Amino acid sequence: MRIGGLQKTTLLDFPGRVACTVFLCGCNFRCPFCQNSGLLEGGGDGIGEEEFFAFLQKRRGILDGVCVTGGEPLVHADIAAFLQKIKAAGYAVKLDTNGAFPARLKELCAAGLCDFVAMDIKNSPERYAVTAGVPVDMDAVRESAAFLMEGGVPYEFRTTVVKELHRGEDFVNIGRWLRGAKRYFLQTFRDGDSVLRRGLSPCSEAEMQTFKKLLLPFIPAAKLRGEN
C-alpha cells in the first residue's frame, strides 16, 4: 500500500474515537479544491506500511481508531487486506470515500471492515463533473449514497463549499437527492499551498448559513462543520 502521510492524532475526524489518520496515495477524481493534491499521483512524504503498523502497535491503549483517507482509498484493489490488518491490530476503522466504487464499499462493509464511512458529496448531481474535475459515473455515486442511507454502517455525508463552484440551487438539489440523511455536514473550503487549483475562495459565514437553511427542509440533520 502506498502511504502518503500520517497524522498521528485527531480528536475530530472519527466520531467518538481518538484516532490517527493515514493518507493513501492515488485518486480517480481531480477536485480543484483538493487539499491533498500531492497524493493524487502517488506523491507525499510517505512512510512504509511496516512503519505504519509498528506505529499502531506502539499507540495501542492511546488511540482506538484509524481514519483511512486519501486520495481515494477505494482505488486500491488491496484495500480490504490493508483494513483487515488495521482491524487485527485492535483498531476501529473510519473510511473516507468519494463514492465512486460502490461494489468495493459494500464488500468492505459486509466484511465488517468499516466502523464508520464518510462520503464526500461534491455538488448537486447536475454539476458533479465540474466539481470533481473529471467525468463522473453518477450511477455509481448514487448507489454508494443509497447504500449508506440504508443504515448498515454509521455514516456521514459532507460537502466542501467553494464560492466559485457552489450555488444556492445546488444545495436544494443535494437536499432532494439525499432527503432524510442522518448526518450531513457543510465544511468551508480552506485555501493553501497544496490546493490543486489556485484562486478559489471560501464562502462567508452568512453564505454558509444560507446554504444550510436550503438543506434543512430535506435534511433536518444538516449542520455546518463545528456546530454543536
Cα–Cα distance measured from residue 111 to residue 109, given in angstroms and rounded to the nearest whole number: 5
Q: What is the pLDDT of residue 199?
A: 85
pLDDT at residue 181, as a whole number: 97
- The confidence score (pLDDT) of residue 44 equals 53
> For residue 49, what is the domain's CATH number?
3.20.20.70
Q: Which residues of the chain have pLDDT under 50?
A: none
Q: Check: CB of residue 127 under 8 Å from CB of residue 147.
A: no
**Among 125, 161, 162, CA closest to 144:** 125
Q: What is the pLDDT of residue 63?
A: 95
The pLDDT of residue 228: 65
> What is the number of structural domains in the chain?
1
| Domain range enclosing 164 | 3-224
First and final CA of the chain: distance in angstroms? 37
Which of 131, 203, 205 has the alpha carbon at shortest distance from 174? Answer: 131
> What are residue 47's phi and psi, to 5 degrees?
-140, 160
> What is residue 45's predicted lDDT score, i.e. its pLDDT?
58
pLDDT for res 35: 81
Longest dimension (CA), the chain: 48
- 180: exposed, middle or buried (Cβ count in 10 Å: 0-12, 13-18, 19+): exposed
